[in-house]
Structure formats: C-alpha cells, structure tokens
Structure 1
Amino acid sequence: MKSSSTRVIIKQLGPSVVSTKYGKLRGALVEFPNTASVQLKPVEAFSGIQYASLRNRGLRFLPPIGPVERWNGIESAWSPRAACPQKVMREKELVDTMPDASLIQTLRIAQFTKSQHEDCLTLNVVVPFRGKCV
C-alpha cells in the first residue's frame, strides 16, 4: 500500500466574524497545497460549534436542549470537539479487511475520532474563502 499524505495549511485565524444568537465566532483560514492537477481554493473553517446540549449527560436518553454556551466578544471556532462514541478499529484490523483506497481515507478520518464523548452535539462548518490570501 502506498501512503498518501495530504497537507493542509492553517495559515491564520479567518478574517470573517459570524454572529449567532449565542455570540460571535471567528474560524480559521485553511489553505491547501496546489499541484498541477489539483487547484483547491482556500476555505474558512468554523469548528466545534455547539448546536444543542445534553447538560453534561444530565439529559442522557432524553431530547437535547438548545446550546447552553453564550459568550461576549469573539470566540475562536477552530478546534473540533469530541466525536460521538463509535468503535475505533485497530490499523491491523483495517489493513486485513479494507481495500487500499478505503484504508487511506479511514486512517485520515481516524484522527478525528480519538477524542469521543456522548455530548457531541457540535458542528464543523466549512465555507469558501471570499477574500484574498496574503
């Protein structure tokens, strides 16, 4: 199996400030290395945005409530929060059962499932960057 590494460059905090009814957010400006065959444009990523809450498991097995987090000022939204609980397969299990292309993609995604929690009601939002990169 060939290893394929994709580099993503998070250059800086994004220039856009987004207002929500809970407060203001600033994401990260994400750039991708371009090659002769692939030209990807930069994006702004807003990660770990809470959209509902289980009140620290106080509402386990019950419908969630609206977000409890509110803030003044501008919050940085550039760190993903914990993923929902799921089985994490060992790499050896994956190598034995998956085609190479699926294995590479699964290993890329696996880094985001290392931290897991039942209160995982958050979103990651990625939007095209509309400004000029410097």
Structure 2
Amino acid sequence: MYLLKYLVYIVTVTISLGNRNYEEREGRKKFESKDGPVKGMSVIFHVKDLPPVERILGLAYATTRGNRLRLMPPTGPLEKWLGTRVAIHNRPPCPVTMYAGARIWNISVPGRGKTSQSFNVPEDCHSLNLFIPSKGGEKGSTRGNGSVDS
C-alpha cells in the first residue's frame, strides 16, 4: 500500500513539473532606476493565492571594468540608457574557477571527434534579477486589482 501511494505521488509530481502553471506577458509597469526607466515581464500564476509578479532580469549593479579592477571591489555600473529598457534576459553567470579561461580537453565535437575547447567566460557578471510581487487581481489571485507595488 505504501509503495502504491509513493508511485502515485511520483507520477503526480512528474506530470505537474511538465505542466506550465504560469503565463508570461509584457510588463505592465515601468520602474524608475537611477540609470533610466526599466520594465520586464508580468508572470501570472494559475495557482490560487499566488499573486502575479513583475520579473526584471539582468540589471547590472556593479562592474569590474573588464579585467582592469580584477580582485578589487567592483565599482558602480557603467550602463545608462535613454527610453525604457526592456529587461527580459539573464546576463551571463559568473565563471566557475575550473572554466574561467581554461581549456577543456576531450570534448566530443560533431565531425571532428575529441578536441580541446576554450571557453571565454566574462568576469564582469555583477547583475541581479528582480521579482516584484503585484497586489493581485489576475488569474491565480483572489486579492487586489493587479497594480504593481512600487
């Protein structure tokens, strides 16, 4: 009996992970930053009591100015923009020591067999992703009118 309950649980979780229980729409609100206005995507969940969120991805908060400030504290970001920046993509992740400028051997490349491969991973990776909860009002929520907190 326990095994049957466990199998039903595993199948249910597997099916749930495959389903997309949210939808994405163009962001409804602009947020002011010191570098200029920014807007992301609205994510609306199809789950009761989960309010929508505004998702803003890849905002730079600091820079090492390439390698000029390597191993030094980062400075403020160099990015400024005119108009509204649409921030819907992640920035490259910070390098892991093993891959930072390293050559990786014995990678199988179609048509060339095993070879070495260089990875150019940027070290200027000081960015953040913001998830700003809404007051509700759309699918999946029973509260508010859908406006976003500022």
TM range (shorter): 0.5 to 0.7
* Residue aligning to 2:41: 28
- Judged with a 3 Å threshold, the aligned counterparts in structure 2 of structure 1 residues 120 and 61 are, in CA distance, closer, same or farther, namely same
Which amino acid in the other structure matches residue 12 of structure 1?
Answer: R
Matches within 5 A, 1:33-48: 33-34=46-47, 39-48=49-58
* Residue aligning to 2:124: 119
Find 1:67's aligned residue among 50, 68, 77: 77
* Residue aligning to 2:61: 51
Question: Where do 4+ consecutive residues of structure 1 move more than 4 Å?
Answer: none
- Judged with a 3 Å threshold, the aligned counterparts in structure 2 of structure 1 residues 47 and 6 are, in CA distance, closer, same or farther, namely farther
* TM-fit CA distance, 1:117: 3.3
TM-score, length-normalised on structure 2? 0.58
TM-score, length-normalised on structure 1? 0.65
* TM-fit CA distance, 1:10: 4.5
Count how many residue pairs are aligned between Structure 1 and Structure 2.
104
Asked whether the equivalents of residues 30 and 45 of structure 1 are also in contact (C-alpha less than 8 Å), the reply is yes
Q: Deviations over 1:37-93 (max 9, x none)?
A: x642211111101100111222211221101000110000111111112379xxxxx
* Residue aligning to 2:6: none
State, as a whole percentage, how many aligned pairs show the same letter.
34
Which amino acid in the other structure matches residue 79 of structure 1?
Answer: H
Asked whether the equivalents of residues 7 and 32 of structure 1 are also in contact (C-alpha less than 8 Å), the reply is no
- Judged with a 3 Å threshold, the aligned counterparts in structure 2 of structure 1 residues 85 and 48 are, in CA distance, closer, same or farther, namely same
The answer on 1:18 being equivalent to 2:23 is no
RMSD across aligned positions (CA): 2.6
- Judged with a 3 Å threshold, the aligned counterparts in structure 2 of structure 1 residues 87 and 77 are, in CA distance, closer, same or farther, namely same
Asked whether the equivalents of residues 46 and 77 of structure 1 are also in contact (C-alpha less than 8 Å), the reply is yes
Larger Rg: 2
Larger helix percent: 1
Name stretches of at least 5 consecutive residues in structure 2 with no aligned partner.
1-9, 99-120, 140-150
* Residue aligning to 1:106: none
- Judged with a 3 Å threshold, the aligned counterparts in structure 2 of structure 1 residues 131 and 68 are, in CA distance, closer, same or farther, namely same
